[in-house]
Amino acid sequence: MDVTELSATELVRAIQMGRVRPSDLMAATLARIAAVNGAVNAIMSLRDAEALMAEARALNGVAPRGPLHGLPLALKDLVAVKGIRTTYGSPLFADHVPLADDLVAARLRAAGAILIGKTNTPEWGHGSHSFNPVFGVTRNPYDLTRTAGGSSGGAAAALATRMVALADGSDMMGSLRNPAAFCNVYGFRPSYGLVPGIAQGDTFLATMATEGPMARTVEDVALMLEVLSGPSPEVPFGRAGERFSQMLDIDMRGKRIGWLGDWGGAYGCEAGILDLCAAGLQVFADQGAVVEPVAPPFPAEKLWQAWLTIRAMLNAGDKQAMYADPVKRAQLKPETQWEIEQGQKVTAAELHAASVIRSRWYARVAKLFTEYDALVMPSAQVWPFPAEWRWPQAINGRAMDTYHRWMEVVIPVSLAGLPSLNIPVGFGPQGLPMGMQLFGAYGTDAKVLAMGQQYHRATDWPGQNPPQISG
């Protein structure tokens, strides 16, 4: 039995029943990493193998420490992990070793996981292509000449290549939905507040980014979400977690799903993407759901302008000290410098206007969810693109006016803080993966996951098409 092919849920059960020892799983994990990581460059700062084996052996035959007892996990390199180099993809932090865990790392460690290293990300998480001057580029497991997406590209590639069974991602502008689509895995952006942020910097205005779980099955996503969710007393807007893994059964008959497509052409998509999504929607229709098209519910350009304003303001505020130092500024990627410079120009009136647009969009989409159980859009507007590109310059001949305009399809979910699951929809003519966003009303995380579970039972794209990569 190749334990690296098992899901996290299967591994947990096998360890609990004594069929698999944590040390056996760790040995298989390290062997898998040695065999394939050189090709995809997904896992970074791997801890010493002997230390990892010793930690795993100490868990053999003992009572489970938590729901992830003995599972090896590599955390995204935007998450501080005590004792493991954490770079944020930046040369400014190339040798940074945190003295304490971020909340995500602390909760996973407390659940019994063994933290083995980090997964690659673009510098500061800016852009959906995981490359940086510290570790280089992460490549797509299905075509090594292509990107794995980002900013959770290392996590998605590590999952697809079976180096880990679970991964954490973070998502402001599709940073776990996009790479999940590009790498044929699941990625869940929870309702804002369900997985709390760290008590650092601003926690009142910064309400567009969140951590979330990624995996090859929806059941595993739910398992990890149970560990990550629940309020932190140090940050506002917390939400209680639920037993998500016990709430995955749902009858799709009569469920209403609205198909937003490319938002009436506003979110142009490369050829074949919408067709694959339509085939994915047919799976729900075959299960008895009512699937129907929905006209664009809000002006896309207004959403974009609100997004640019709020995002730039947050980046400028968060990174102004580094930008003010000429030596450090020179080591920031151009896209990060641009974000800060745009944010420094934002006036109070412009920020208020952007927040009003965001508020009106939330009200509009909330009303839509009185008619529909879920809405669907593509998770990406382009296929995985060449790894040597910084970002796509055009979609179907339309020039992209920012480094992230090609990801615009993800911002309606982010602006409203809605629960959204990337579900794989198969492969295009060139063998490249794609996915679509299944999202619901705020707070309906369990329902979105349950609908995704029915889709997974009918398709299991990650299980049917494992990439064959050797080191």
The residues annotated as belonging to the active site are: 76, 151, 175
- Chain centroid to Cα 282, Å, comes to 25
DSSP 250-301: ---TT-EEEE-TTTTTTS---TTHHHHHHHHHHHHHHTT-EEEE----S-HH
Classify 12 as helix, strand or coil.
helix
Instruction: Record the tokens describing residue 439, joined without a space.
Output: 């999202």
Q: Taking each helix axis from N to C terminus, what angle separates 49-57 and 22-40, rounded to the nearest 10 degrees?
A: 150
- How many Cα atoms are found within 13 Å in the side-chain-facing hemisphere of 31? 9
Q: Are 81 and 115 in contact (CB under 8 A)?
A: yes
Contact 139, 183 (CB under 8 A): no
**Residue 261 region by backbone torsions, left for phi larger than 0, else alpha for psi between -120 and 50, else beta:** left
SS3 of 69-81: the string is: CCCEEEEECCCCE
- Give the separation between CA 348 and CA 87, rounded to whole angstroms: 33
In angstroms, the CA 284 to CA 279 distance is: 9
C-alpha span between 175 and 410 (Å, rounded)? 9
Which residues touch 98 (CB under 8 Å, ≥6 apart)?
80, 81, 82, 83, 84, 86
